[in-house]
Chains A and B, each alone.
Chain A
Amino acid sequence: MSAKKKLSSKELTSKKHNRRRLLTLWRVVRYGTDSFVRNSWLSVAATAVMTITLLIIFTAFITQNILTDTINDLQNKVNMSIYLKTDTSDKVGNELKTELSKLSSVKSVTYCNADCGRTQYAKDNASSPEDLAALTEATNQIPATLKVSLVNINDTSQLEKFVAENKLVKDHLDADHKPSFAGERRNTIKTIGRAVNFAQAIGLVAGIVFVIISSLIIFNTIRMAIFNRKEEIQMMKLIGADQSFIRGPFLIEAIIYGFIAAFIATGLGIWALYASSKTLVSYQISVQPTINLVTIYAPIVLTAMVGIGAIIGIVSSLLATRRYLKL
């Protein structure tokens, strides 16, 4: 009986303790929201800076995505062509296609025999009667072609080795047309490859730099806001508030900045992407996959933005309040 009574008393104390903790949490949230509303100008300024920060992060992400898509597009357009003799049979052509497809550096291979080459030539030059007339000359023969798309256009070594060593290729290689990754074309392809690498590296570095700079700006804004209220913090300490009670409202405020700013920044960012898409497409920039991505995953993008905003706000507040909270 007494054991039961003792347990009940323990449970009661624990229940009371939990209720008190909940009450404190509720008060921290209320103090944070009250402070956000009552310090309206400071809140507007901090939210605006947070919006700019998140917009920069959003833009960095979108730009990186568009750049990657555009580069992929470009890479797909740069095919390595192996020209075969006009009389090469389709059987040989397809056999070579199968062997090439097995190479790890090869993304895809298409085979186009001499007839297919003529049709393609006629199609590509439909607007030029002079070029079309050239097809009627018996001496002008279109070679059969193996068009190879590589995983990395800068890495042609495996393909080159294959062409140099494979007996079947050597037997049927067109002597008048060198493969496109050899001779003069090789330099052009390598230049495009270097430009692609450079653009990707610059895009990534610029993105990281922008994110760091904007995070520093919001950190400084929150630090200034808290610096303005250091006397309040001092007073709270002296009347016996513990650290979590002092820090909590500042964290809540920072989360509110992040939350509102995430909505504004995501809205503005998606709107700007749609608004600029026509212009970007006219410059051969591959924007549609990114538009599809942010439209389909809009809730995830928004959640990620809210998360980033909240994390930046929380870290800034924690760092800024730390120096005033020493006992």
Chain B
Amino acid sequence: MILLDRVTKTYNKDSKPALDRVSLFIEPREFVILVGTSGAGKSTLFKLLTREEKPTSGKIVVGGIDYDTLKDSHIPMLRRKIGVVFQDFKLLPQRTVFENIAFALEIAGMTRHEIKSTVPKVIELVGLTGKEKQFPHQLAGGERQRVAIARAVVRQPKILIADEPTGNLDPRHSWDIIRLLEKINKYGTTVLLTTHNAEIVNKLKRRVITLEHGKVTGDQAVGSYRQ
């Protein structure tokens, strides 16, 4: 599903590479946790996967799409196949819960009828039934993250990238979000999660990839959080 072959990313010629010859292979339907200190290269890796950045060298293939041959005009299409969730939610503040989720379908040109039948199902999946007409500022942090997840999965992407989705949440809401990600993974979506939360990593008992100074220093099938 995701293949990185000796990928290096250097932002400035004089500085050390943010990612240094990273090679990874992630199977379809896997739930992978990416850990590492700040500056280890996790965000750079995500930016490469969403094609916000281009690698300095190396090969990236996601869902059969080779990024070397990907035209700029096809980048929006690629991003519609990858769901992304951020630590700071990144919702449209002037739009309701329903509208925020529907937005992901509207940009793909889906009809009103399709949107009206799909969005409520996703809202139910993330447990926000009854809050469709509320605006993001009227919701709690955990609820906002659920909206962000609903928006990310409403198009049924093959891959979901969750960059520190629990970073701004208290422990109880953090676990709600993690359980939701597990549920989405169970339906067949490959989940790539980054977190600094040792308890989550240790309790999930999933594959853990450790990044340090831009290099992969650990890759355990059932891993734990290493300081």
Contact A327 B107, beta carbon cutoff 8 Å? no
Contact A240 B90, beta carbon cutoff 8 Å? no
Q: How far is the CB of B109 from chain A (nearest CB, A)?
A: 4
Closest chain B residue, CB of each to CB of A39: B94
Closest chain B residue, CB of each to CB of A239: B104
Contact B50 A38, beta carbon cutoff 8 Å? no
Cβ contacts under 8 Å, B107 to chain A:
236, 239-242, 245
Contact B51 A239, beta carbon cutoff 8 Å? no
Interface range for B: 20 to 34
Residue in contact with A240 in the complex, picked from B72, B80, B91, B111, CB distance below 8 Å = B80
Contact B109 A20, beta carbon cutoff 8 Å? yes
**Residue in B77, B92, B95 whose Cβ sees the most chain A Cβ within 10 Å:** B92
Interface status of A27 (Cβ within 8 A of chain B): yes
- How long is the Cα–Cα vector from A143 to B51 in the complex, in angstroms? 92
A residues 243-279 near B (Cβ < 8 Å) are: 245
Interface status of A232 (Cβ within 8 A of chain B): yes
Contact A23 B111, beta carbon cutoff 8 Å? yes
Binary per-residue interface labels of chain B (66-99) against chain A in the complex, 1 for a CB within 8 Å, 0 otherwise? 0000001001111110001000001111110000
Interface status of B5 (Cβ within 8 A of chain A): no
Interface status of A35 (Cβ within 8 A of chain B): yes
Cβ contacts under 8 Å, A35 to chain B:
94
Q: How far is the CB of B31 from chain A (nearest CB, A)?
A: 22
Contact A38 B94, beta carbon cutoff 8 Å? yes
Contact A238 B109, beta carbon cutoff 8 Å? no
- How long is the Cα–Cα vector from A23 to B106 in the complex, in angstroms? 9
Cβ contacts under 8 Å, B90 to chain A:
231, 234-235, 238
Cβ contacts under 8 Å, A240 to chain B:
76-80, 104, 107-108
Contact B109 A24, beta carbon cutoff 8 Å? yes
Closest chain B residue, CB of each to CB of A38: B94
Binary per-residue interface labels of chain B (45-79) against chain A in the complex, 1 for a CB within 8 Å, 0 otherwise? 00000111000000000000000000010011111
Closest chain A residue, CB of each to CB of B161: A238
Closest chain A residue, CB of each to CB of B82: A240
Cβ contacts under 8 Å, A73 to chain B:
none
Q: How far is the CB of A203 from chain B (nearest CB, A)?
A: 45
Cβ contacts under 8 Å, A231 to chain B:
90
- How long is the Cα–Cα vector from A27 to B115 in the complex, in angstroms? 13
**Residue in A39, A237, A240, A241 whose Cβ sees the most chain B Cβ within 10 Å:** A240
Cβ contacts under 8 Å, B84 to chain A:
238-239
Interface status of B42 (Cβ within 8 A of chain A): no
Cβ contacts under 8 Å, A23 to chain B:
109, 111
Interface status of A34 (Cβ within 8 A of chain B): yes
Question: Can you add 4 more A-B contacts, CB < 8 Å, to A235-B90, A240-B107?
Answer: A239-B84, A239-B107, A240-B108, A241-B107
Nearest 4 pairs of A and B residues by beta carbon: A240-B80, A240-B79, A235-B90, A38-B94
Q: List the interface of chain B (C-beta within 8 A of A).
A: 50-52, 72, 75-80, 84, 90-95, 103-104, 106-109, 111, 151-152
